[in-house]
Amino acid sequence: MEQRARRHAAAPSPHLPPHPAQRRREALSQPSEPQLVIGIDLGTTNSLAAIMDGGKPRVLQRADADPLVPSVVGFLDDGEHVVGRPARQQAVLNPTRTVHSVKRLMGQAWSEVSQSASLLPYAVVDDGSGLAKVEIDGKLLTPQEISALVLGEVRRVAEEALGQPVEKAVITVPAYFDDSQRQATRDAARIAGLQALRIVNEPTAAALAYGLDTSREGTVVVYDLGGGTFDVSVLKITQNVFKVVATAGDTHLGGDDFDHLIMDAILALVNAQTGSDLRAQPQALQQIRLSAESLKQQLSESQQAVLEIDLGGDAPLHFELTRDTFEQWIEPLVQRTLDCCAAALADAQVEPADVRDVVLVGGSTRVPMVRRAVAETFATEPHCELDPDRVVALGAAIQADVLAGGNRDLLLLDVIPLALGIETMGGAFAKLVSRNSTVPARATEMFSTSVDNQTAIEINVYQGERELVRDCRLLGAFKLADLPAMPAGLPRVELTFLVDADGVLSVEAREQRSGKQAAIDVVPGHGLSRDQVKSIIRESISHAHEDFNTRELLDQRNKAASLVAGARRVLAMKELTMAEPQRAELAAQIDALEATAAGQDLGVLKSATEAFGDRTQELADAAVNAAIAAELNRSAGRLPS
């Protein structure tokens, strides 16, 4: 018989005292043996590696070459591929086989990227199981495989620069990457032949790179607007400890979205003047994408930018864009980043005036409007001394040095973005690890069975902020089976959640009486969509009152069910002498409580449950005494005379 787990904190049956809930968090150890470990920023637009050299981080590059490796993979006619700058150079002539911005597809379902995929010149398709994959010449490739090609090129650059093999790395991801997207990043590293010793949040790495005054306590905000993602993190710095206390962001908001606004305007102009829809022409679409990116970059330096579009006619099309117009277009996107900042500050219980330093990260922070907006929000000029394209890799190198046993005086404490827990009776969500918990983390709690003679417990693992699992996201499921048949509430199931330093989850379950155990490394099929990831906390707040009432009704129903089960066991006890009128009265009370529990009135059910518990307490005590007396009599009968 298989049922959901029941939290031991729920009310007991009349004859069984509750097991207290148990929670604990423990720091997990870090490797410290000396080893070669590089830091890698796996970016949407560009990627690069760095390493500690003489106590300072430096980027790794080939001789006389730009250290930035464009996160672009091009597939050739002979089946071979090129990565980085050669791939970007062939993009216009070979758009359908040139893959860029694949980071936005990592850990995603097809339904979550289908709309944005229409602006990509290469094919993104549903693989038949709901996952998004890239189709090249009829072959389906996962985003992890393509990211692995980028990581492989970054690895080769590092090996050429260092003159020795590289096998271990610290890799950065957006702070708001969920469990699935972090797993996808680890998989990409594994495919590339790299052992990812740690997955570090990009904003946290940036704070390390700036070498902020760690001897002076204070609050630091890292604003990270890259090509495809946005993150904001709030950190507390005390005595060489960098502790992330809150994070927020959007995994589908970045400079690419700025480019798309310019692309839409160019495409609309072409359509209006020629009647042509260039969206159906991959080569032209790729050229316009690159032109839009160039216009954006020009507007960071000038008040106006001009584009001449040669469509093969008598004269090229003239497209002119001013900085003022561009800023009007991007204002809603910039405001979305500021809304995330406000959410992170609220979670950290910090006012903008309390922030000591603001750090800008990501190439898109070069846009003048972005810098102005951040400065106005925090009433201070943000740090932008370091190259925003390199700062994350430099920070990753510092963390790599810590893991390699170099710097033992620095401690980095990151957090998870959303709560983790399991489904309990009635579809309630029992949170074991709360949002913004410091990782690595460990949480343990006791659960039990909900019906008599239950021999298996199905454990469904969820991620979210709501009170009911129907409003959260299923990450994985496993079964604790072959349990000995016992009365409901008697098994003691210890459930342990382990979140490692990368934010990746594993779950263990052990029934203490029988020793049966089961475990799962949670590897979900895909990640959270843009809207899900952004609204999940907001919804938890707006539905808090409704969720609380629903959850309390579920808890009271579970309590009533536990009392009813215990009372029925009392009625079935042969050892307990009970007059027939008393039995009939108890049976009627049981029926009445079950009927009340089926209703929706929380107040009535609560009163009925408490009254039933009070009325049956004396009977429960008598049942326990009768059972003890019967056992003593049986034991006495077995003694020699």
- DSSP code per residue over 557-579: HHHHHHHHHHHHHHHH-SSS---
Same domain flag for 226 and 328: yes
Let me know whether 68 and 171 are in one domain: yes
88 and 229 fall within a common domain: no
Read off the pLDDT of residues 361-397 as tens digits, 9 standing for 90 and up.
Answer: 888 999 999 999 999 999 999 988 888 889 999 999 9
Handedness of CA 554, 557, 561, 567 (dihedral sign): positive
pLDDT in tens, 424-468: 878 888 888 877 777 778 888 888 887 888 888 888 888 887 888
Q: Any catalytic annotation for residue 103?
A: yes
Asked if 352 and 463 sit in the same domain, the reply is: no
In angstroms, the Cα distances linking 367 to 220, 233, 264, 299, 374 are 22, 20, 19, 8, 11
Tokens standing for residue 486 = 């016992």
Q: What is the DSSP string of 459-519?
A: EEEEESSSSBGGGSEEEEEEEE--PPP--TT---EEEEEEE-TTS-EEEEEEETTT--EEE
Shared domain for 67 and 180, answered yes or no, is: yes
The confidence score (pLDDT) of residue 613 equals 80
Q: Is 108 in a helix, a strand, or coil?
A: coil
Q: Specify whether 357 is located in the same domain as 272.
A: yes
**Assigned domain for 538 exists:** no
pLDDT digits (tens, 9 = 90+) for 61-109: 987 788 999 999 999 887 788 999 889 888 878 889 999 989 988 888 7
Catalytic residue among 103, 168, 516, 559: 103
319 lies in the same domain as 240: yes
- Does 202 participate in catalysis according to the annotation? yes
Both 283 and 357 in a single domain? yes
What pLDDT is attached to residue 312?
64
Q: Is residue 495 part of a domain?
A: yes
Do 398 and 453 sit in the same domain of this protein? Answer: no
pLDDT at 533 over 50: no
- Together in a domain, 459 and 375: no
- What's the total number of domains in the chain? 4
Residues 401, 443, single domain; the answer is no
Tokens of 376: 């106005």
- Cis status of the peptide bond prior to 440, with omega within 30 of 0: yes
Per-residue pLDDT band for 171 (boundaries 50, 70, 90) equals: very high
Domain contains 65: yes
- Residue 455 domain boundaries: 2-27+415-524
Residues 6 or more apart from 339 whose CB is under 8 A from it?
Answer: none
DSSP letter for each residue of 236-290: EEETTEEEEEEEEEETT-SHHHHHHHHHHHHHHHHHHHH---GGG-HHHHHHHHH
Average pLDDT over residues 305-325: 82
Evaluate whether residue 111 is within a structural domain.
yes
497's CB contacts (< 8 A; 6+ apart) are: 420, 421, 432, 433, 441, 442, 443, 444, 505, 506, 507
Does residue 112 lie in a domain region? yes
224 is catalytic: yes
pLDDT, average across residues 574-594: 78
pLDDT of residue 250: 86
User: Does residue 628 share a domain with residue 559?
Assistant: yes
- pLDDT band of residue 9 (cuts 50, 70, 90) is very low
Kindly name the residue from 112, 179, 202, 423 that is annotated as catalytic: 202
**Cα–Cα distance, 199 to 206 (Å, whole number):** 14
Among candidate residues 112, 153, 179, 224, the one labeled active-site is: 224
Say if 410 falls within a structural domain: no
Q: Contact at 8 Å (CB) between 151 and 103?
A: no
Q: 411 vs 609, which has greater pLDDT?
A: 609
- Of 356, 372, 405, the residue that ends a domain is 405
pLDDT at 560: 83
Residue 295 domain flag: yes
Of 433, 119, 108, residue with least CA distance to 277: 119
